Structures are given as structure tokens and as C-alpha cells.
Amino acid sequence: METSFFQNNRKRFLEGLPDKSLSVFFAGEAPTSSGDQTHPFVPNRNFYYLSGIEEPKIILVLSKFEGKTEARLFVEKPDPVMARWIGEAMTKEEAAQASGIEVKNVYYLDEFHGFLQGQFLLAGYEHLYLDLERRSWDAPQTTAQVFANEVKARYPFLQIHNAYNAICDMRLIKSQEEIEYIRQAGKITSDGIKYLMKNAKPGMKEYELEAYFDFVLKSNGVKHHAFHTIAAAGKNATILHYENNNGTAEDGDLMLLDLGAQYKLYNADISYTFPINGKFSERQKTIYNIVLKALREVTAMIKPGLPFSELQEKTKAILAEECIAIGLIEKPEELSKYYFHGVSHPLGLDTHDVGRIRDRELKPGMVLTIEPGLYIEEEGIGVRIEDDVVVTENGVEVLTTDLPRTVEEIEAFMANR
């Protein structure tokens, strides 16, 4: 990503703050898994969005005082001993190059508290902005939340504010470079799905099929999945977030995949359904075509100005009408037995990307998923089909176009493996 992207993000964020404001953002650290092992490190996404840095422990400070704005970074000091064990930490020069922040404004972490003392007590800052995201009441306190409590105890005159929603709303609209990263993540994901299909046959374990997808990701240098892979055969496909992936794909089963690659921190999210033996039964074909109809008609209605909520309403109307026509339900309100999730969510640095969209109209640059489904537990049939799309100035562009989608296309692909 060009450093101008992160510089512009900082500029836009600071424009929305009152004067005499200081903002602090933490990259975070890898949490402990067990013993002396840690989970893989991933940077706090809002920190990355403003800094362009993917390394742990680094702190970004943005200031606005008497109309002047400035960005500073605090990085780890070089440690020759730790460098021999885990590698070199990011240098001041590397941090400056990644972020577009002048190297003269890059300091070491042991200078951070002294810097704050000067800003809060001597310079006269009045506002402190932090990313205070909290997903649930019982969630553990984040680094930013602990820091907020410490600052409040030491400088009670400061007004502490939550920067989370402002940054998340910025992230709703993607730049062209972000869109291209998501497109590339979708291309790798599609390649993985096709490789999985080429090697699929009845009797395989779900995790064996998953391994073929993982091979393609690793072969493309992808270190992280967008989320835990769902590889669900038969009745397992009727469980929305099934992740055990330890069942067997029996002859006659549909295989439902929900998976994604992460490319340069940006995610793809594709759901795909195909018959493990290469041929749909007539009933499977009927259900699949209903879901495909919903996918295509809902995608076609996307344009700037359309209320986001209408995507779900249209999906439910199509699925209900078609399910009534085949005798699966008698009334539209019965649809919830077979379709019980939303059809869309934002997509980007997070798979379920941030930003308040539920009560808003669509705008150019928004990247969304479209994922209708039907889940008939009593028949062991689960079908979900999902594309990633971007709202354009005049309508919509599908970013995930590299897969066979119709019944005929899927059967032909399976027959010519």
C-alpha cells in the first residue's frame, strides 16, 4: 500500500477532532496460547489503517494543537540478544518508511510516558482519543482500555473519547488499492476452491478437503485465513457456523464451503456449494437454483443510494416466494426455519468489517458480501452461495468471478477434472 493512503487516513481522522486533542493507538501484541507459545500476531486493524505498520508493540500518537497536526511513532529499542532469538525489531527508519511519518518523529518506547507528561501537563492538551472497542460486557480489557484508566487516574482534567466509530466509518469506503487487494484475496480463494473440487470424491473427510484449499493459500504466500474454514458435508451444512470439519462427505452429499484468503491484511469471503460426486440430485438442483436466483437478483439491485436493509428484504422475498412454490413452506413468515441470517455485511480488513451500515444507504466504494442460503436439516441439504462485490458509481461490480456458479457449470467442471 502506498504511504499516501495512510497519510490521508490520518489527515481525515484529525480533521474531525477538536483542537487540543491527542490520539493514541496501539499495535497490540500476540496473545499467549499456552506455555511459552503465542498465537500469530496480527496488528490492531485501526492502528494499521492509520499507520501502515504490521509490527507488534508500536504506538502511534496523533496530535492537533492550535490548528497544527503531527504524527509520531514509538518503536522498540534495538536488542541484540532478542534479535538472535526472534529477529530484529522494526527500526526507526523502517517505521518511517512504512508509515510516511518523518523519521525525526519516531521515538523509542521508553520515551512514551515522558512525552505524554509533557503534552498533558505542559502543552495543555484537553482531549484524549483512544480506540475503545468493546464487543461484549465481559470481554477482557484491551491495552487501550487499561491505558484510559491509567490516564484518567493521573490526569483527571482530560476528556477521554472513543475514536473507534469514527475510524470504522472511514473504513466503510474503500480506496481503489484496497479493492484490488480484496479482489486478489478472492482470486486466491477461488483458486483454492477449484483445487479442492478437482480432488474431491465421496468418502473423504471434511478436513482432507480443507487441506487442499490450505495448500493453495500457502503456495500463494498467504499466511492467514480470513476466518476459520467451514467445510461441511450433508447435514453439517445446515449448521451456519460449523467448523469441526471432521465429518465424512458421503456419496450424494452436497459440500458447503465458506472460506477466504487474507491478502496483505485484506479478506475474501466466499461460500460455495457443490455435489461431492459431481452430480446434483433433482432436489438439490431445485434448492441450489433458488439460492442462485436470490444471489443474482439481489446483486443486480445494488447501486448508490439503495438502503442497505433492502438487500435483506429482497432476499427474504425471493426465497419465500420460491419456497412456497415448491411446497417447502406455506407462508412467508415460515421462511425463518430455513433462512436465518443476514444476506450481507461489509468486507475489508476484517471479514465482518466495521462501520455502521445497517441504517445507511449504499455508497460507491463500499465492499460487501452477498450470501443467501437455505438450510433444510430434515433433508440434509444446506446451500449457501456468496460473492464479494463493490458498489460503483453506477451500480455494482462482482469481485469474485472465477468460479463455476450454475448447476451446469459445476457439473461440467466436476466431470472434466
Q: Is 202 helix (H, G, I), strand (E, B) or coil?
A: coil
Below-50 pLDDT ranges, the chain: none
pLDDT tens, position by position, 320-364: 999 999 999 999 999 999 999 999 999 999 999 999 999 999 999
The pLDDT, as a whole number, for residue 66 is 92
The pLDDT, as a whole number, for residue 255 is 98
The CA distance from 374 to 279, in Å, is 19
**Domain spans, the chain:** 3-171, 176-415
Please tell me the CATH superfamily of domain 3-171, with its number: Creatinase/prolidase N-terminal domain (3.40.350.10)
The pLDDT, as a whole number, for residue 314 is 98
pLDDT tens, position by position, 163-203: 999 999 999 999 999 999 999 999 999 999 999 999 999 99
Q: Is 361 helix (H, G, I), strand (E, B) or coil?
A: strand
**Per-residue b or e along 367-388, where b marks 16 or more CB atoms closer than 10 Å to that residue's CB:** bbbbbbbbbbeeebbbbbbbbb
**Strand pairing category for 59-65 and 68-75:** antiparallel
The answer to whether the beta carbons of residues 161 and 128 sit under 8 Å apart is: yes
Which CATH code, of 3.40.50.300, 3.90.700.10, 3.40.50.1970, 3.90.230.10, is assigned to 176-415?
A: 3.90.230.10
The pLDDT, as a whole number, for residue 38 is 86
Q: Which three cell numbers stand for residue 235?
A: 447435514
Q: Which three cell numbers stand for residue 315?
A: 432476499
The pLDDT, as a whole number, for residue 138 is 87
Calculate the CA 242 to chain-centre distance. Answer: 18
Q: Is 119 helix (H, G, I), strand (E, B) or coil?
A: helix
Q: Which three cell numbers stand for residue 167?
A: 475510524
Q: Is 204 helix (H, G, I), strand (E, B) or coil?
A: coil
Q: Matching CATH topology for 3-171 and 176-415?
A: no
